A and B are shown apart, each in its own frame.
Chain A
Amino acid sequence: METHRDDMGSKIGMWLFLLSEILLFGGLFILYSSYRYKNPIDFHLAAWELDRVLGTFNTLILITSSLSIVLSIFFVQKGNRRLSGLFLLATIFLGILFLGIKYVEWTAKIGHGLYPNSPRLLGRSKGEILFFGLYYSMTGLHGLHVLIGLFILSAMLVLVMKGKINEHRFVPLENTGLYWHLVDIIWIFLFPLFYLIT
């Protein structure tokens, strides 16, 4: 019996979801820029306190993980499920590494007494409070997306190993890739806005 499949439809559905994600983060970016416009000096001072080395490292990790998921899709299309699974595993590893570095970074900030509503932060100027509020909410929302991505990637790894995703049926993996790349693109903008522009 032939089951109904609509690869094009599911891809378009994924893209629609991604477009709504772009608007969600876009709204936050607008919020960031208007607050930055209002408090240029405070934002400048606060951005100096973020760890640029860790931020750069995380950017390189996400870019590389984007390459590994694209290679995973490439190999499953060629019928090489073993290599595809290996590259998926590499993607998952890089995603965990990203979250690990984020954890180290946040812990250091919180250790310095810089977290939302902390006495130390509340003693600072309004602009710096806004900067750290945006920093925690935007990188936090992005980190949540990475975490969800890791669960989806793990599910895909199981499906690839079981052969449920193969050279004839790979749209779920392709859609996972699209999601993962979008998470990468969001970080491509978050990184310069928070860590580089001072």
Chain B
Amino acid sequence: MKNRKYRTYILVWLALVILTGITVSMAGMDLGLLSIAIVLIIAAIKSGLVLSYFMHLKYETGLLFKLMIPIVLAALTVFIGLTFSDVAFR
């Protein structure tokens, strides 16, 4: 089990490198708004990998660890929503 963890870390690193390669090559194409969406989705996937494997959130037990990231993301979403409802309709 413990040795498998070591391999998981290297696989996660490999995935992060590949995803970086994809975003950089994606940016070369001119897809307009779609490319912003793709680049942000890939960044979200990358941070999800770092959070769950490198920062061990996947292995933590307890309600607090399960809830804190969703709560912070929800707070940020509210801020973003409120800011944009102001900026967009001003």
Contacts and interface: CB of A to CB of B under 8 A. Distances in A.
Interface of A: 12, 15, 19, 22-23, 26-27, 30, 33-34, 37-38, 52, 56, 59-60, 63-64, 66-67, 70-71, 74, 78, 177-178, 181-182, 184-185, 188-189, 191-192, 195-198
Interface string B58-90: 000000110010001001100110011001100
Do most interface residues of chain B lie in helix, strand or loop, or is the interface mixed?
helix
Given A15-B68, A37-B88, A184-B50, A192 B23 contact: yes
Interface of B: 2, 5-6, 9-10, 12-13, 16-17, 20, 23-24, 26-27, 35-36, 39-40, 42-43, 46-47, 50-51, 54-55, 64-65, 68, 72, 75-76, 79-80, 83-84, 87-88
Contacts of B55: 177-178, 181-182
A67 B20 contact: no
A37 B87 contact: yes
Given A22-B76, A71-B9, A34 B83 contact: yes
Nearest to A31: B83
